[in-house]
Structures are given as structure tokens and as C-alpha cells.
Structure 1
């Protein structure tokens, strides 16, 4: 089997490393890959968001399975495009990926499904967000609605911190269009654990729980 892994981060290195251990002995390609993947697979100089070129590469190189790691190409519909081209691809469709690419959409899904989640309000203008902050009790969590490479969540212990975060996000466009809409969320304390599972519409196969370690300094700084 010839497998193409899309991405260039440590996530894609881990995926490739595990695939390399498969008893089926797949031939592995990573686009664009990194120094780590180069040791266990063939790196391909195609960007993870260059969907047209990735499809052409899959066609010309007999790729049997494509595994997509990064959020951005998933949000852009890479899985839909590969499916339309007749390829087997592992990853959520663009519609399903909205759970990750839009925090507001994820909140709506959780509310409709009865999944407990931190209370929040979302705003399209910085003025409305600041008015809400000034009327709400601290601390706060400020979140960009869209994808921000893991940087779009700001812990704000005091109103001034929250207002500064809103202004940076919405007025100064620190995260581009991803911060055009922002959430002001309840600050929750405790251990954060991520639990993943494979599902096929009928069966659920849970994976090992993981801890997403946050900022190194006190009060979530650093």
C-alpha cells in the first residue's frame, strides 16, 4: 500500500512513525514533511494547502490512502476534494471539520446535543464584546472563532486583559479573519483531558486520553 500523509508538523511525524510500524509495510510519502519524517518516509515538496497539486501527485504516484493532519486543509475541504477524485482519504469532511474550525459552531452542536460546556457569548464587534466584559465578572477566556494555529485562546484574569485581547484580536487582526468574531467564555479550572474515538456511525472505538499542556508560566503566561 502506498500512503500519503499531508502535513509538516510533529503530529504528522507521529502519524508517519506509527504507520511505518504497520505489518503491511506501506510505502510512505509525506507532503511536505519535515526532518523527522524524512528519516522514515519520502518527503514531497507540496504544501499541505495546495490541494490541486496533492491530488495530481496522488494520481501520478498511485496513492492508495491519504491521511490528513493539519486543520487548515481539512477546513478547506481537502477530504471532499480527494473523495470526488476517487481517492480513499482519512479525515473529516469540510462540513464535519467545522466542529474544529468554528468555535461558535462547536458550541451550537454541544448545546443541541446536551453536551456540558463553558458558558459563553460571541460578538461580531469589539465594542459589543468590551461592553459585555465590563458588565461580567472576571476572569474570562477570550477565543477567536476560527483557526489560529493553536494561538487563538487568551486567558484574561482581569477586565483590562480581556479588553486588550479583544482589541488585539478584532481591531488589530492578530489572527486575520479567524478573529473577526470572538467568544468571551467562562473561565473553568481543573485538569484538561482530550478523549478521542474512532466512529463509523454505529460503533465507537475509544483511543487513549491525552493532556494538552498549555502555557508554561503562572496565570497561563509564556
Structure 2
């Protein structure tokens, strides 16, 4: 049986969602974040990077969300429900699979890191410097970048229901983590299309089953 190495409040939630949509049986090995919010060292016994998600299937060990989602689609989506077939939608699908972690998520991770510079566990004596640095970088550059991406995503979803057209695809599953993070900590207002997309996801029975299996999924703000 396929095994998911699942870290709470992490990217592996989208793998559980994909498996529930596909109806593929799986088992979960659960890991809890340390106080530092990092993954426990025990994940390195599964994959050298010690990150989640990782899956084991038919003797294979796969890491990286995009690669796992592509594998699941190619292996188990025999009806081609979660990959569009028209050329433009197929190109959009490929773009979003790469964009999620290649372009959007690094900015949101930076947002989280800079927001934490003035808080524990940063030493008390340098928190004031951390706050000033955080404020300066976010105001001068980071917030503008995030706003540009948020408006780009909003415009895309203003024209169709899902990221690669009118059908849910693995592209939406890949985009779920960064968009949920964007809506939680991005600091950008007036994103009705993105919020409607998020609501459509949360209403899906497969998403709800994945939450039951993987635990609460509530990304903290920055």
C-alpha cells in the first residue's frame, strides 16, 4: 500500500488531498514539527533532506510535491480527470506546477522569516534591530513583490474556476499550499476570486477527508 510520510501543517496535506480525489488507498506515517517549527530528524531516515512530503509506492521513494503529484496523476489517474488535455490548458497546468514552489512560495517564506525577526527565539537584545530590518525589507521590496503576484493570481482566477481551466487539476492541488499561505500571511486585501477558489476547495469532500486524515490545516499569519 502507498505510504505518505506526513508532517503536520505542511505541504504534504496536498498529497493527502490528491490521494483522496483519486481514491487511492494509502497509509500515513505521522510526524510532528519541533518547537522550532522544523521537521523532526526522524524524517531523514526516509529521505536525506528530512522534508515532507515523501511517499513510498511500489518500491519507489519520491519527494517534492510537484514530482509526487505528477507521479500520482500519471500512475493512478487513468481517466485523466486531473490533467487537462487541450494544449493551452496543458501549458497552464505545467506552468502552475512549477510556479507554486519556484516563484510564489519563496516570497511567502521570506515574509514569514522577516516577520519573525523581532520575536523569540531571536535574542532579546537584537529584536529591535530585527524589527527595523524586517520593516525596511518588507516595505521597500517584499510586500510589493507579493502584491504583484497576488494580483496576477487574482486576474487568472477571475476568468475561470480553476488554475488550468474549468476543471480541477493537480495544478490546483500544487497551488493550494502557497495560496492558502498568501491569504493567511500575504497582507494583500481584495482578493475575492482567490478566496472563492479556496472556498471551492474547502467544500470538496475529498479535501474534507484529507483534513480528517492529516489533521488541522491552518497556516499561521506572518
TM (norm. structure 1) is 0.31
Instruction: Give the structure with the higher percent strand.
Output: 1
Name the TM-score, length of structure 2 as normaliser.
Answer: 0.31
Name the structure, 1 or 2, with higher relative contact order (CA <8 Å, separation 6+).
2
